[in-house]
Amino acid sequence: MAEFELIHKYFSPLAGKGAGGLLDDAAILDIPQGQQLIVTSDTSNRGDHFVDALPPKEAAQKCLRSNLSDLAAMGADPFCYQLNLALPKDLEEDWLAEFAKGLAADQKEFGIFLSGGDTTAMGAGGLSVSITALGLVPPGQAVKRGGARIGDLAVVTGPLGDACLDRFRIPYPRTAIAPLIRRYAKAAVDISDGLPADLGHICEVSGLAARVELEKIPFSDKVREAIQSGAKTPQDILIWGEDYELALAVAPEDFESFKVAAAGQGVALAAIGIFEAGAPKVTVMDKAGKPLVFERTGWQHF
C-alpha cells in the first residue's frame, strides 16, 4: 500500500481539530488560553519494547500509554500526539488495521487525538513506533522531579511488578489524577525503568536520598507468590520497570487528603518510604531492616 493511501485509510480518521485531516505538512493547533504545553517523546521498537506475540491493537496501546504516563507524571492532561512509524515493507495490512483500532480505542479512553506524524519504510523484520505526546497544565503547575524535600513521603500510585511476570501486560497511565498530582505532588516520575532507578531520578534532581521499606510496597497476590516461592527475587521485581505507575514526593500532611481524592478516581496510593538528607540514592530495606543489594537499579538502554 502506498504511503498516502495508508495514511488516509488508517490514520486520517484518528486526526483531531487542527490536524487538517493529515492533508497538510503540519498541524495548526490552538492551545487553550491559560495553559502551558507539556511535550514528551518515546520510541518503541519491536522485539525490545513489544514482542511479535503481542496483538497489534495492544502494541499500539502500550506505545501510546507509555507517553501518557510521562504526561501524568508532570500533572498534565492529555491533548494530542504525533505518530512516527517505521514499517517493514512486507508488513501485513491486517496488522496495521488492528494497530489503528488500538489507537482509536485509547484516544476515546484518554481524551487525546492524533495531530500528525510521519510514515516510512525499513528493512524486513524491523518495526519502530515513535510517539510525541502533548499535554496541558495551568501555567507554573507542571510537576518536576526536583521538588522533593526532606521528610516528604515517597508514594506510588499502584502495585508494582506485574509487568515483570507478564510481558503482555498493557499499562494504564494515571492521567485521571493529573489535577490531583498538580495539587499534592511536589515531585514525580513515572516508573518505566524500575523503582530504584526512577525514584532515584527524583533523588538526583532534588539532591536527596530516599529510604523505602519493602513491606510497604504494594504487590499483587501473584507477585507476592512469585517472591515467596523463589521464582523471583524482590530485586528482580523492582528493577524490571514497565509498570508505568508513578512515584511521587508528597508532604506528610497532604498524604491522607491525596489518598482519599485519588481513591475516588480509582487509584490506590501507597506511602512506601521517605526522602531524607544524604547522597542521592534509593535504599530499599527488607523486613529485617537490612538494605537489599542491587547489581543494577533498573533497565539500561545501552
Query: How many Cβ atoms from other residues are within 10 Å of residue 142's Cβ?
Result: 19
Is the same domain home to 172 and 96? no
- Domain match, 7 and 127 both: yes
One domain, residues 105 and 19: yes
Sequential pLDDT tens for the chain (302 residues): 677 888 889 899 999 888 889 988 899 999 999 999 999 999 988 876 666 778 999 999 999 999 999 999 999 999 999 999 999 988 889 999 999 999 999 999 999 999 999 999 887 778 999 999 999 999 999 999 999 999 999 999 999 999 999 978 899 999 999 999 999 999 999 999 999 999 999 999 999 999 999 999 999 999 999 999 999 999 999 999 999 999 999 999 999 999 999 999 999 999 999 999 999 999 999 999 999 999 999 876 65
Question: How far apart (Å, rounded) are the C-alpha atoms in residues 109 and 99?
Answer: 16
CB of 43 closer than 8 Å to CB of 129: yes
Residue 293 lies in a domain: no
Q: Structural domain of residue 205, as residue ranges?
A: 153-285
Residue 45 confidence (pLDDT): 87
Residues 84, 177: one domain?
no
Question: Are 165 and 260 within one domain?
Answer: yes
Identify whether residues 94 and 160 lie together within a single domain: no
For position 51, what pLDDT does the model report? 63
Based on the domain organization, do 185 and 78 belong to the same domain?
Answer: no
Q: Specify if 291 maps to a domain.
A: no
93 within a domain of the structure (yes/no): yes
- pLDDT value for 191: 97
| Cβ pair 180, 265 in contact under 8 A | yes
| Same structural domain, 49 and 161 | no
- Last-in-domain residue among 93, 108, 137: 137
Residue 71: which CATH number?
Answer: 3.30.1330.10
Cβ-contact 92, 154 below 8 angstroms:
no
| Total tally of structural domains belonging to the chain | 2
User: Quick one: 179 and 252 in the same domain?
Assistant: yes
Quick one: pLDDT at residue 299?
72
Co-location of 77 and 163 in the same domain: no
Residue 29 inside a domain? The answer is yes
For the chain, what is the radius of gyration of the CA atoms? 20
Q: Would the pTM of this model clear 0.85, i.e. be above it? A: yes
